[in-house]
């Protein structure tokens, strides 16, 4: 299985854990605010904002929350100024990790990330030490049920996709980031349901973990994602469903 297929499978397995954390809205609000600040409050002319709003709708965020977040980003309402950057790190077993953050206090966030890594068996890496192992890609997960594979393949390839392949009950479509908007539009036009659609950092290779290192790695990711300043965590681990189930239990 390719690196991006493995990553999408891992993300779906982790979904049950992520749903328990109750901090999804906080992260979505920050992303909407920053997207509106950078590209304006009109989602039709701001692809990043449009994607953030779509993710908020998928998480059943109330429209009032979305509207307030946009207003804070455009300056119509008073709000916090966030700084955006990425930490690189190593986890148990030498797993490569990218930690994307949005914060109003870089020193505080840096201290918290270092503390989490040291407590959970990881450590910060030098810039570009692990980033080379990830590709920035558009990633779409489409349920196999009710979708004709040949028709779907034609739709996404015409819209600019690089590849489509079956992956654990889904079709996984990958693209260059520049084609993301066109593929979204094509899928919506043809009424193709999307489970997820995102710009993701996909590992080129994965590291298989079992036993204690697997548990440590999942605990590390969970603790990082519990931090309000951490928006996304990407890593190149490969952990079986059985190991996932043990940790989630």
pLDDT digits (tens, 9 = 90+) for 101-127: 999 899 999 999 999 999 999 999 999
Give the pLDDT band of residue 10 (cuts 50, 70, 90).
low
Give the pLDDT band of residue 3 (cuts 50, 70, 90).
very low
Average pLDDT over residues 45-69: 86
Q: Is the pLDDT of residue 2 over 70?
A: no
Fold of 134-203: Alpha-Beta Plaits (3.30.70)
Q: What is the pLDDT of residue 238?
A: 87
Q: What is the pLDDT of residue 196?
A: 78
Q: Is the pLDDT of residue 224 over 80?
A: yes
The CATH superfamily holding the domain 83-132+205-237 is YebC, transcriptional regulation domain (3.30.70.980)
- Alpha-carbon gap, residue 143 to 66, rounded angstroms: 27
Average pLDDT over residues 191-210: 87
Of these ranges, 99-113, 192-206, 224-238, the one predicted with the greatest mean pLDDT is: 99-113
Asked if 88 and 113 touch (Cβ cutoff 8 Å), the reply is no
Half-sphere exposure of 76 (CA within 13 A, CB side): 10
- Alpha-carbon gap, residue 195 to 168, rounded angstroms: 13
> Could you tell me which of 52, 61, 51 has the C-alpha nearest to residue 32?
52
Q: Is the pLDDT of residue 195 over 90?
A: no
Long-range contacts at 78-83 (CB < 8 A, ≥ 24 apart): 79/33, 80/33, 80/104, 82/30, 82/33, 82/34
SS3 (DSSP) at 77: coil
Q: What is the pLDDT of residue 15?
A: 54
Average pLDDT over residues 198-202: 87
Q: Is the pLDDT of residue 16 over 50?
A: no
Q: What is the pLDDT of residue 76?
A: 76
Q: What is the pLDDT of residue 73?
A: 86
Length of the chain: 249
> Could you tell me which of 49, 104, 99, 117 has the C-alpha nearest to residue 231?
99
Bridge partner list, 161: none
- Alpha-carbon gap, residue 131 to 201, rounded angstroms: 9
> Could you tell me which of 205, 237, 231 has the C-alpha nearest to residue 86?
231
Instruction: Let me know if 56 is exposed, middle or buried by CB neighbors in 10 A (0-12, 13-18, 19+).
Output: buried
Mean confidence (pLDDT) of the chain:
85
Q: Is the pLDDT of residue 63 over 70?
A: yes
Which residues of the chain form CATH 3.30.70.980?
Answer: 83-132+205-237, 134-203
Give the pLDDT band of residue 92 (cuts 50, 70, 90).
very high
Asked if 139 and 165 touch (Cβ cutoff 8 Å), the reply is no
Q: What is the pLDDT of residue 184?
A: 87
Which range among 11-20, 42-51, 156-165, 182-191 shows the weakest confidence by mean pLDDT? 11-20
Return the CATH number of the domain spanning residue range 3-74.
Answer: 1.10.10.200
- Alpha-carbon gap, residue 69 to 55, rounded angstroms: 14
Which residues of the chain form CATH 1.10.10.200?
Answer: 3-74
Q: Is the pLDDT of residue 1 over 50?
A: no
Percentage of the chain lying above the pLDDT 90 cut: 43
């Amino acid at each position: 299985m390719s690196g991006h297929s493995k990553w999408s499978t891992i993300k779906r397995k982790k979904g049950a854990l992520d749903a328990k954390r109750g901090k999804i809205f906080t992260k979505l609000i920050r992303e909407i605010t920053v997207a509106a600040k950078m590209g304006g409050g009109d989602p039709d002319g701001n692809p990043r904002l449009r994607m953030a709003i779509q993710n908020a709708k998928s998480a059943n965020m109330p429209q009032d929350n979305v509207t307030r977040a946009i207003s804070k980003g455009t300056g119509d309402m008073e709000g916090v100024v966030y700084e955006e950057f990425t930490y690189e790190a190593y986890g148990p077993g030498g797993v490569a990790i990218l930690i994307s953050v949005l914060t109003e206090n870089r020193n505080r966030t840096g201290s918290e990330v270092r503390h989490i890594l040291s407590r959970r068996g990881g450590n910060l890496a030098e810039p570009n030490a692990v980033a080379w192992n990830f590709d920035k890609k558009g990633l779409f997960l489409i349920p196999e049920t009710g979708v004709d594979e040949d028709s779907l393949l034609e739709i996404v390839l015409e819209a600019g996709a690089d590849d489509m392949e079956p992956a654990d009950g889904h079709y996984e479509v990958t693209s260059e980031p520049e084609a993301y908007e066109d593929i979204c539009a094509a899928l919506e036009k043809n009424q193709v349901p999307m489970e997820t659609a995102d710009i993701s950092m996909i590992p080129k290779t994965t590291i298989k973990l079992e036993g204690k290192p697997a548990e440590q790695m999942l605990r590390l990711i969970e603790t990082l994602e519990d931090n309000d300043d951490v928006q996304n965590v990407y890593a190149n681990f490969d952990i079986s469903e059985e190991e996932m189930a043990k940790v989630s239990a």
